[in-house]
Structure 1
Amino acid sequence: MTYDLDDDPSRIQLDAVWAWLSTEAYWGRWRTRDQVETQVRNAWRVVGAYSRDTGELVGFARAVSDGVGFAYLADVFVLSEHRGQGLGKRLLRLMIDDGPGSDMRWILFTGDAHGLYRGFGFAEPDETAMVRPARTPT
């Protein structure tokens, strides 16, 4: 199967993003659909992966940024039936390395796929990093 990837926010299929995030995302199923739509709409950048055969969204990533020196990577996913074909790497490459934030400091929180993210320069924080946990249920 072949795929097209791009960062056109108007092409993002919110039904597909909501369907996956509301049922599969261990990190954020507490969000309402309105909240997810707000996050996508207000993102600094979004990247979608689409089946060339059907045009359906099969992968997604979004980022929040100040546009200068800092970016936060969030909500990265590839539908299970499309995994194992390098889509996760392609999403991250387009989002991070080939995008306008390639020289920025990137941050993410994840409970899995550490090997994938290390391949893009992510590492565990050092003693200069601090995090205030969310007060919202996770």
Structure 2
Amino acid sequence: MTVPEGFEFDDDRDRVDRDAVWAFLSTGAYWGRWRKRADVEAQLDGAWRVVGVYETTTGELVGFARAISDGVALAYLADVFISERVRGMGLGKALVTAMIDDGPGAGFRWMLHTADAHGLYKQHGFGPPDEMYLERRSRR
């Protein structure tokens, strides 16, 4: 993975700025605004893996992704974001690479739901589900 200059990626869950994740998910994420802070905290606590993107000079969290997994064959990518002020620098592509290709789930079947960024995810092998995949949609 090529890390854009001035940034670092870290999968240390204790380093994640939970306030920054909450701030983005509760205001800037179309997919996350329905959640309460306690929901996000529970999802962070239960995550199989998290990856944060940090500015090297300030240590500020400017990107994030989390995954849930059985730890053997299957993983779900969630809550991927890059702060608006640093978008367009290749951080999103590098973040997805760090999570799915450079981590312990490189050989897993990965899933995600998204209404945008299809081009980004296609670069990582995501596409329409195969004939074996079924889903029960949320009743929310």
Q: Same fold (TM over 0.5)?
A: yes
User: Given residue 16 of structure 1, which amino acid in structure 2 is its aligned partner?
Assistant: A
Q: 1:65 aligns with which of 66, 69, 73?
A: 69
- CA displacement, residues 31-82 of structure 1 (integer Å, 9 cap, x when unaligned): 0001001101110000000011211100000000000000000000000001
Q: 2:29 aligns with which of 25, 28, 31?
A: 25
User: Given residue 47 of structure 1, which amino acid in structure 2 is its aligned partner?
Assistant: V
What is the CA–CA distance in structure 2 between the aligned matches of 1:115 and 1:131, rounded to whole Å? 22
TM-score (norm 2): 0.94
Verify: 1:123 aligned to 2:127, yes or no: yes
Corresponding residue of 2:136: 132
What is the CA–CA distance in structure 2 between the aligned matches of 1:2 and 1:114, rounded to whole Å? 26
CA RMSD, aligned part only? 0.9
Q: Structure 1 stretch 120-129 or stretch 65-74: which is displaced more? A: 120-129
User: Given residue 82 of structure 2, which amino acid in structure 1 is its aligned partner?
Assistant: V
Corresponding residue of 1:85: 89
What is the CA–CA distance in structure 2 between the aligned matches of 1:8 and 1:94, rounded to whole Å? 13
Q: 1:53 aligns with which of 52, 57, 74?
A: 57
- Matched residues, number: 136
What is the CA–CA distance in structure 1 between the aligned matches of 2:76 and 2:83, rounded to whole Å? 22
What is the CA–CA distance in structure 1 between the aligned matches of 2:58 and 2:43, rounded to whole Å? 26
Deviation of the 1:134 alpha carbon: 1.2
- Partner SS state of residue 72, structure 1: strand
Q: 1:11 aligns with which of 3, 12, 15?
A: 15
What is the CA–CA distance in structure 2 between the aligned matches of 1:128 and 1:4, rounded to whole Å? 37
User: Given residue 111 of structure 1, which amino acid in structure 2 is its aligned partner?
Assistant: A
- Partner SS state of residue 38, structure 1: helix
Deviation of the 1:27 alpha carbon: 1.0
Corresponding residue of 1:99: 103
What is the CA–CA distance in structure 2 between the aligned matches of 1:7 and 1:113, rounded to whole Å? 23
What is the CA–CA distance in structure 2 between the aligned matches of 1:28 and 1:81, rounded to whole Å? 20
Deviation of the 1:129 alpha carbon: 1.5
Deviation of the 1:128 alpha carbon: 2.0
